[in-house]
A and B are shown apart, each in its own frame.
Chain A
Amino acid sequence: MLNHVFVAIATAGIIFIIFHYAINYVTNRYLGIISELIKMNEVDGFDPVMLLRHLEPFLKRLGIRDFGYYLYYHNVEYVRRNVSQKKSITKFVHTAEYTVYIDIVPGFRYIESDFITKVLVEVIFLLLKADVNIQTTAAQKAFRKSVELQAFINHDVKNLIQFVNVLEFNLSQVDDDAGYRRFVRYMQKSLPGLKVRADKILSALNSTQPEMDTVPERLKPMIMAADAAGIYGVSIHTDTPADMEITARKRGLTVIIENIIKNFYDKSISERGIELFVDVSEEENAYVIRFRDNGSPIADCEKIFEPFFSGKVNGLGIGLFHCRNIAAGMGGRLTAENTDEGPVFILAVNK
Chain B
Amino acid sequence: MLRILVVEDDEAIRSQLCFALEKKYDVTEVANAPEAVSETDRGAFDVAVVDLGLPPNEQSPVEGLKVIDHLLFSSQCKIIVLTGQSTKECAMSALERGVFDFLVKPVKMEQLFYSIERAELFISTERELQKQGVERIEFQVKIGDGLQKLRELAEKNIILRVLNDTGFNVYQSAKILGVKRESLYYFIKKFNLVRKTDA
Binding site for B on A (CB under 8 A): 151-152, 154-155, 158-159, 161-170, 173, 182-183, 186, 189-194, 197, 231-233, 262, 265-267, 269-270, 272, 312-316
Contact = CB atoms under 8 A, between A and B. Distances in A.
A267 B60 CA distance: 16
Interface of B: 10-20, 23, 31-34, 53, 55-60, 62-63, 82, 84-85, 105-110
The 10 closest A-B pairs by CB, nearest first: A266-B56, A193-B11, A169-B109, A314-B59, A161-B106, A158-B84, A313-B60, A194-B12, A166-B16, A313-B57
A178 to B, nearest CB: 12
B57 A314 contact: yes
A103 to B, nearest CB: 47
Interface centre among B13, B60, B84, B85 (most CB of A within 10 A): B13
Contacts of B10: 159, 163, 193, 197
A266 B105 contact: no
Contacts, number: 107
B20 A163 contact: no
A71 B136 CA distance: 65
Nearest to B87: A151
- Chain A contact surface mostly: helix
Contacts of B109: 165-166, 168-170
A167 B14 CA distance: 11
A266 B84 CA distance: 19
Contact of B12 (A182, A191, A233, A262): A191
7 contacts: A155-B58, A159-B12, A164-B106, A166-B16, A189-B11, A190-B13, A269-B56
Nearest to B51: A159
A284 to B, nearest CB: 37
A312 B105 contact: no
A187 to B, nearest CB: 8
Contacts of B32: 269
A315 B59 CA distance: 6
Contacts of B12: 159, 163, 190-191, 193-194, 197
Nearest to B104: A158
A155 B13 contact: no
A226 to B, nearest CB: 16
Contact of B57 (A197, A231, A233, A315): A315
Given A193-B10, A193-B11, A312 B57 contact: yes
Nearest to A148: B59
Contacts of A192: 11
Given A158-B84, A158-B105, A166-B109, A183 B57 contact: no
Given A162-B105, A165-B106, A183-B19, A314 B11 contact: no
A194 B13 CA distance: 8
A151 B57 CA distance: 13
